[in-house]
């Protein structure tokens, strides 16, 4: 169900790009924006893992340095039939973890010192199952596709804004509805961002479900999420907003309408879904 929801959201994002391109950028403007966005996100797709790991001071650790985590990763990879990713340790005392890499052959799982200290073995299995599921489900690729389309829409809206300021709209658009033109400039980027965030939340639900089946115990992950929610409140992670979507639990919090702008579903809803799997 979450996989189908992701498809619908990506399709909606693509339709939005076409509408925006027709309304404010024209075919040539849409093509330029898409090429620019694609180039930017392709670079990110290939090199973001190294950048993010370095950003958080993560160091690759051997089996002798972090034996418990390596044992869990080894066992789960044998069960799932996927290649074993590299294992990294972040020095932060804040409990969290993330997976990165452009494909299963070039992937890594990073855990903080805080999460290793806080969670039991079964809870750690739930967390690592979740991260391995992100790799197996190719969520980095999905996020890159969504980011490429959303970034193209942002570029188009920006181009249209400056064109409107300097009177540079295309001749065949001059008879168009100016209200629609202005609405596209304002509304389209917001809509693109909301769809992109909805895709991120959908992939979190999917990784929870896949991970719970992989470790064989949904309550292991549910229990871990409860502990992580409290742990990150007590010891916040010094994180960058641009990388928040990568972590198993959002380093930043927000309720009410701010849920729409969150990269993660509410912890309570994630736990409730896991409990229904028992």
Q: How distant is the alpha carbon of residue 71 from its chain centre?
A: 26
E-assigned strands of 50-205? 59-60, 86-90, 97-103, 106-112
In the numeric block, which tokens belong to residue 44? 């990110």
pLDDT tens-digit map of 250-278: 987 655 444 556 889 999 999 999 999 98
pLDDT tens-digit map of 120-132: 999 999 999 999 9
For residue 170, the model assigns a pLDDT of 47
pLDDT tens-digit map of 64-102: 999 999 999 999 999 999 999 999 999 999 999 999 987
Which residue numbers are catalytic? Answer: 131
Inform me whether the pLDDT recorded for 198 exceeds 50: yes
For residue 88, the model assigns a pLDDT of 98
Task: Give dist(CA 35, CA 29) in Å, integer.
Answer: 10
User: Which of 63 and 262 is assigned the larger pLDDT?
Assistant: 63
Number of structural domains the chain divides into: 1
Which residues, other chains included, contact 251 with Cβ-Cβ below 8 Å and sequence gap of 6+? 94, 96, 232, 236, 237, 239, 244
Domain containing 246 equals 2-276
Task: Give dist(CA 85, CA 78) in Å, integer.
Answer: 12
Q: Are 192 and 167 in contact (CB under 8 A)?
A: no
Inform me whether the pLDDT recorded for 173 exceeds 50: no
174: pLDDT confidence band, cut at 50, 70 and 90? very low
Inform me whether the pLDDT recorded for 228 exceeds 50: yes
Q: What percent of the chain has pLDDT over 70?
A: 74
C-alpha dihedral sign at 138, 141, 143, 146:
negative
Task: Give dist(CA 65, CA 58) in Å, integer.
Answer: 14
Residue 162: name the closest of 184, 180, 179, 185 by CA. 185
pTM of the shown model: 0.79
């Amino acid at each position: 169900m979450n996989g189908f929801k992701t498809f619908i959201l990506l399709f909606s994002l693509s339709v939005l790009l076409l509408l925006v391109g027709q309304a404010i950028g024209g075919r040539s403007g849409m093509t330029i924006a898409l090429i620019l966005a694609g180039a930017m996100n392709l670079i990110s797709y290939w090199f973001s893992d190294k950048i993010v790991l370095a950003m958080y001071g993560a160091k690759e650790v051997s089996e002798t340095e972090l034996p418990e985590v390596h044992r869990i990763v080894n066992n789960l990879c044998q069960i799932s039939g996927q290649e074993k990713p590299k294992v990294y340790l972040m020095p932060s005392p804040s409990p969290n973890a993330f997976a990165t890499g452009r494909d299963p052959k070039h992937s890594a799982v990073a855990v903080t010192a805080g999460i290793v200290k806080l969670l039991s073995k079964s809870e750690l299995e739930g967390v690592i199952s979740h991260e391995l599921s992100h790799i197996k489900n190719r969520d980095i690729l999905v996020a890159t596709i969504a980011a490429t389309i959303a970034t193209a829409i942002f570029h188009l809206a920006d181009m249209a804004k400056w064109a409107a300021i300097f009177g540079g709209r295309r001749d065949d658009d001059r008879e168009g509805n100016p209200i629609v033109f202005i609405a596209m400039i304002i509304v389209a980027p917001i809509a693109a961002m909301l769809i992109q965030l909805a895709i991120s939340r959908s992939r979190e639900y999917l990784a929870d479900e896949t991970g719970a089946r992989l470790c064989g115990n949904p309550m292991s992950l549910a229990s871990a999420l409860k502990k992580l929610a409290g742990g990150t409140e007590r010891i916040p992670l010094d994180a960058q907003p641009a990388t928040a979507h990568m972590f198993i639990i959002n380093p930043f919090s927000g309720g009410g309408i701010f849920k729409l702008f969150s990269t993660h579903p509410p912890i309570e809803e994630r736990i409730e879904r896991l409990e229904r799997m028992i």
